[in-house]
């Protein structure tokens, strides 16, 4: 469980932040329509009970909302801890990595990784497999297939629509 959250930290934080931003919405969904897991919904409900001014702890490196106790304690997310502390990368290194993956326009037939995430869910494919296939959160790890390489357009990440094809999903399903 902890392992899964580590791999999806970025997405998890985005989903939570989005749900918190929509405090008046009682449904278990974010403005983008992403369904919250039970744990996420519980977290959001607690924050709502606190009057909408939650005591959230943000990562000192990237500013994302931290969820796990260990991360809250050290005020740093697992991914930032990994890149900065374990790998010894600098902010410039990460910016360079990001620039390498940034393009100006969405290529034809490409879809948001958020959309692929939902498609995986509807096919009972764990999101951790999708994230791993894309080279983990920042795309720096090995790819399951070159077509799983994502690109940034602004803040959104896109992948080849092939990933959501029968072939792409089968490859994901068979991966671990």
Residues at the site binding Zn ion, with contacts judged by CB under 5 A:
59, 61-62, 77, 80
CB of 78 to Zn ion, least distance (A): 8
Kindly tell me the burial class for residue 113, based on how many C-beta atoms sit within 10 Å of its own C-beta (0-12, 13-18, 19 or more).
buried
- For Zn ion, give the closer residue by CB, 62 or 143: 62
Hunting for tokens 């068979």 — which residue is that? 174
CB of 57 to Zn ion, least distance (A): 11
List Cα–Cα distances, 171 to 6, 65, 158, in angstroms.
23, 32, 18
- For Zn ion, give the closer residue by CB, 80 or 125: 80
- For Zn ion, give the closer residue by CB, 137 or 160: 137
- For Zn ion, give the closer residue by CB, 84 or 148: 84
CB of 157 to Zn ion, least distance (A): 17
Conformational region of residue 100, where left means phi above 0, alpha means psi within -120 to 50, and beta covers everything else: alpha
CB of 129 to Zn ion, least distance (A): 23
Distance CA 97, CA 102 (A): 9
Single out the residue of 153, 128, 155 nearest to residue 62, CA to CA: 155
- For Zn ion, give the closer residue by CB, 19 or 80: 80
> Strand, helix or coil at 126?
coil
> Strand, helix or coil at 10?
helix
CB of 152 to Zn ion, least distance (A): 17
């Amino acid at each position: 469980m902890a392992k899964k959250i580590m791999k999806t930290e970025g997405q998890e934080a985005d989903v939570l932040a989005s749900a918190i931003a929509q405090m008046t919405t009682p449904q278990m969904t974010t403005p983008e329509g992403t369904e919250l897991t039970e744990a996420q919904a519980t977290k959001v409900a607690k924050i709502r009970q606190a009057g909408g001014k939650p005591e959230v702890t943000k990562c000192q490196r990237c500013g994302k909302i931290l969820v796990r106790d260990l991360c809250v304690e050290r005020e740093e997310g697992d991914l930032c801890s990994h890149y900065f502390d374990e790998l010894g990368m600098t902010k410039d290194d990460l910016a360079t990595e990001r620039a390498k993956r940034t393009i100006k326009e969405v290529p034809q037939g490409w879809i948001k990784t958020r959309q692929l995430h939902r498609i995986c869910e509807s096919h009972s494919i764990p999101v951790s497999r999708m994230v791993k296939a894309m080279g983990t959160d920042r795309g720096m790890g090995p790819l399951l297939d070159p077509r799983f390489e994502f690109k940034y357009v602004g803040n959104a990440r896109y992948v080849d629509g092939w990933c959501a094809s029968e072939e792409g999903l089968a490859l994901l399903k068979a991966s671990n």
